[in-house]
Structure 1
Amino acid sequence: MNWLTQTIGVGLIIIAAIDIFITVLYPRTGNSIVSLPLGRGIWHVFRQLARWTKSDRLMAYCGSVVLVVVAIFWIALFIIGFALIVWSMLGDEIVASSGKTPTDFGTAVYYSGFNFTTLGVGDFVPKTTTCRLLTILQSALGFATFTVTLTYLLSVLNALTQRNIFALSLHHRTGTGHTSPALRGQGKPLTKANAAELLLGWGMGGKFDNTKQDITNMARDLLQLLESHNSYPVLHYFRFPEPHYSLARMLLITMDTATLIKTALCDREYKSLIHSTAVSELQSSGLYTLKQLADSFLPQGAIANAPAKLSASYSCETQWREWYYYVVRRLQSEGIKTPEDIETGADKYVSLRREWNDEVAAFAKHMAYRWSDVAPAESAISASAFLLLKNSSQQK
């Protein structure tokens, strides 16, 4: 029986060591034995609690809880693993410094715990060379685990800060509070998360000077976003109440920006921008980032069930067309030239958007954001067009 408990103990130690290695020292999404499944499970619990309590703010604590639980789990695996190894040695190879030596499992956990945490209480003394070497090994692993865990926590928080900076940068560059003429009477301003406003800011007066560098920086930040999530998957579970921090919002703005440049600008006038390596890099980087993150974090079937429509008769593609028409009008109003054949441009926009929209919508749904919060301007335009269409049909 002793060999069985010791074998289980060795197995727990190996699992903890491997998980720490591939989570911290070889951080690539999908390789984790314990931490990734644990993160998914905790996220599921937080989503359920948020539904029951009707409080989205509760989910904001999920990422921090995942970090703490994973660290505790690593430490617990090591302590219990070594406790199973030394349990049978109590009273023989490991004795109390005074009095009779207890031989229960709780005592084994206590002995393993103060060795692993390097407390050195001294209540128990190893008598054999094997036990002394085992004590040294456990203390060394404990010191290394605490050091690596603290380093990992700091790295995650630094990566989270960089992600939030990128999100805020996009948020403050993509909106001016413009109100659509169709919505002025309803008092519904088009606020942030508007790729059209980003294009307008770049192309004031019909000229896109220095735009390529900004686009290149955006593509670089996208790839950094991908690598930070690959290195620290727990970042995915830091879900803030403000939608401008959401992954869906960041991906929507970057992908829609690249798509609108390709379809809503006059090719003859802005050929050097539309066909530039900067725009191609933004489009390809965005698609690559989106597909990689979707494969890593979205549950099976999430993409197929993600698209949100205003009604069964008002398709997603119809909503995209209405948004495209709105963007073209906005660009024209600021002196930016648009394609001569708007319908062809709309067809191209819809075709390109099919490549990425479902994944973005799936991320919004998976992280419990409403699409109207992720894309407020687009949703407002689509809702307004739908109401006009509905009223027109009823009058007929």
Structure 2
Amino acid sequence: MDTTDPVYIVLRVVAFLAGAYLVVYTVLSGIRTFVLPRPAQVLLFRLVFLNVRRLFNLRAVRAESYAERDRVMALYAPIALFFMPVVLMGLVMLGFMAIYWALSPLSFIESFKLSGSALFTLGSFTNDDPLLMVFEFSEALLGMILVALLIAYLPTIYNAFTRRETQVQLLEVRAGTPPSSWELIARSHRNGELTELREFWSDWQVWFAELEESHTSLPALAFFRSPRPELSWVTAAGVVLDAASLLLSTVEIPREPRAAFCIRSGYLALRQIAIFFEAPYNDVPTPTDPITITREEYNDVCAYLETQGVPLCPDRDQTWRDYAGWRVNYDRELVSLAALTMAPYAPWSSDRSLSPTAYHDQNGEAGRWE
């Protein structure tokens, strides 16, 4: 092709600009994903996780039990995270390939070889043109930086995971398996701690603050499942929030302000996480909004607490209204995040569209796994 042809020149200019844009966009996406310490919607991150999720959903819906689904989905976040540097490196390589093609007489294949050799520092294909050498060195440097960012990212995410899961597993001591808010209250009453839970609420208030920060700045962490299939950060959050709501509305003990602050810390955290993942949430909850807990379920829990000797307020209509007024703050966020993460069954805290039998259905046909 004639190198003086205007079409040829325009094509080369477009290729150079497109390649440079792709490289810059990819590097900025890597920085926003691995370095930026604040929530950031990264299109590449979202596309990778969504497409890997679709593949895992195809396998999860054929699982014969929840335990099998959990084993399948336990690999979802690690594999999606594994593909992130692959995608970033691939886009960098394509971007520099376009740059090399635009700045030299190299063919597409030769440009591809040069880009791959530079990115992976192979040295198997080089070019003596000074301008191309500058881009070669730049590509090699970017490749090493991207690998270093991933290496630094993994310890950060696993440290946050460990802090999260420590509290989740400790909750089992108080709330049983699967965890429930009323079991937490009943055990605390039997042990004489029902009015001595200030430190408990303070610890969980801190946990919620860390949860919001880590699950929006390190979004992959939300999909890392607990080491044990019956536990989840979502259901743990729901149990603690419901226990605080029942304590403030239904249990007849002196009012504990730290429980109220724990609820506020919790629903703010869940709301911010739901907003980040574009999950359904209630932006302006009011006490009259419907909740997923029915009055019959609430009455059953009150009856259970009475059998355990827990002192309850006498006006059941008022306590129900008070409980619903607390629950409405986090109800929709909790349910939507449980569905998003395929959380295990826990009464009142998991996806309310699924029953215990739906989670353990041996036919593998019950429930929504979107």
Q: State the TM bucket, normalised to the shorter chain.
A: 0.7 to 0.9
Post-superposition Cα deviations, 1:71-99, rounded to whole Å, max 9, x if no partner, equal 101111111111111124455xxxxxxxx
The question of 1:124 aligning with 2:110 is answered: no
Local SS of the residue matching 1:355: coil
Partner of 1:365: 339
Partner of 2:223: 237
25-34 vs 318-327, which moves further? 318-327
Aligned equivalent of 1:226, options 212, 223, 228: 212
Local SS of the residue matching 2:121: coil
Q: Give the whole-Å Cα distance in 1 for the aligned partners of 2:195 and 2:334.
A: 30
Local SS of the residue matching 1:293: helix
The question of 1:70 aligning with 2:80 is answered: no
The question of 1:258 aligning with 2:244 is answered: yes
> Structure 2 unaligned runs (5+)?
1-10, 283-289, 357-370
Q: Give the whole-Å Cα distance in 2 for the aligned partners of 1:11 and 1:221.
A: 40
More helix by share: 1
Partner of 2:234: 248
Partner of 2:184: 198
Q: Give the whole-Å Cα distance in 2 for the aligned partners of 1:282 and 1:70.
A: 35
Aligned equivalent of 2:200, options 199, 214, 228: 214
Partner of 1:47: 57
Aligned equivalent of 1:9, options 4, 19, 44: 19
Partner of 1:386: none
Partner of 1:279: 259
Alpha-carbon deviation of 1:15? 1.0
The question of 1:58 aligning with 2:32 is answered: no
> Structure 1 unaligned runs (5+)?
92-102, 176-190, 305-315, 384-396
Aligned equivalent of 1:105, options 93, 105, 108: 108
Partner of 1:134: 135
Q: Give the whole-Å Cα distance in 1 for the aligned partners of 2:134 and 2:142.
A: 12
Q: Give the whole-Å Cα distance in 2 for the aligned partners of 1:53 and 1:209.
A: 44
Distance 1:321 1:164, change over 3 A: same
Local SS of the residue matching 1:203: helix
Distance 1:166 1:77, change over 3 A: same
Q: Give the whole-Å Cα distance in 1 for the aligned partners of 2:336 and 2:150.
A: 32
The size of the alignment, in residue pairs, is 332
Aligned equivalent of 1:347, options 321, 335, 339: 321
The question of 1:158 aligning with 2:159 is answered: yes
What is the letter of the counterpart of residue 67 of structure 1?
L
Q: Give the whole-Å Cα distance in 2 for the aligned partners of 1:324 and 1:72.
A: 50
Aligned 8 A contact 1:205 1:334 in 2: no
Local SS of the residue matching 1:138: helix
Superposition RMSD in Å: 2.9
Q: Give the whole-Å Cα distance in 2 for the aligned partners of 1:30 and 1:155.
A: 17
TM-score normalised by structure 2 residue count: 0.80
Q: Give the whole-Å Cα distance in 2 for the aligned partners of 1:44 and 1:240.
A: 21
Alpha-carbon deviation of 1:342? 2.5
Aligned 8 A contact 1:172 1:192 in 2: no
Partner of 1:389: none
Q: Give the whole-Å Cα distance in 2 for the aligned partners of 1:332 and 1:206.
A: 16
What is the letter of the counterpart of residue 263 of structure 1?
S
Distance 1:148 1:337, change over 3 A: same
The question of 1:34 aligning with 2:44 is answered: yes
Distance 1:376 1:264, change over 3 A: closer
Q: Give the whole-Å Cα distance in 1 for the aligned partners of 2:214 and 2:230.
A: 18
329-338 vs 255-264, which moves further? 329-338
Aligned 8 A contact 1:193 1:374 in 2: yes
The question of 1:114 aligning with 2:128 is answered: no
Distance 1:362 1:35, change over 3 A: same
Find the structure with the greater CA-based Rg.
Answer: 1
Alpha-carbon deviation of 1:292? 0.9
Post-superposition Cα deviations, 1:215-253, rounded to whole Å, max 9, x if no partner, equal 100111111111110111112233469554334312211
Alpha-carbon deviation of 1:327? 3.5
Post-superposition Cα deviations, 1:36-75, rounded to whole Å, max 9, x if no partner, equal 2322332233223322465523222110111111110111
Percent identity among equivalent residues? Answer: 21
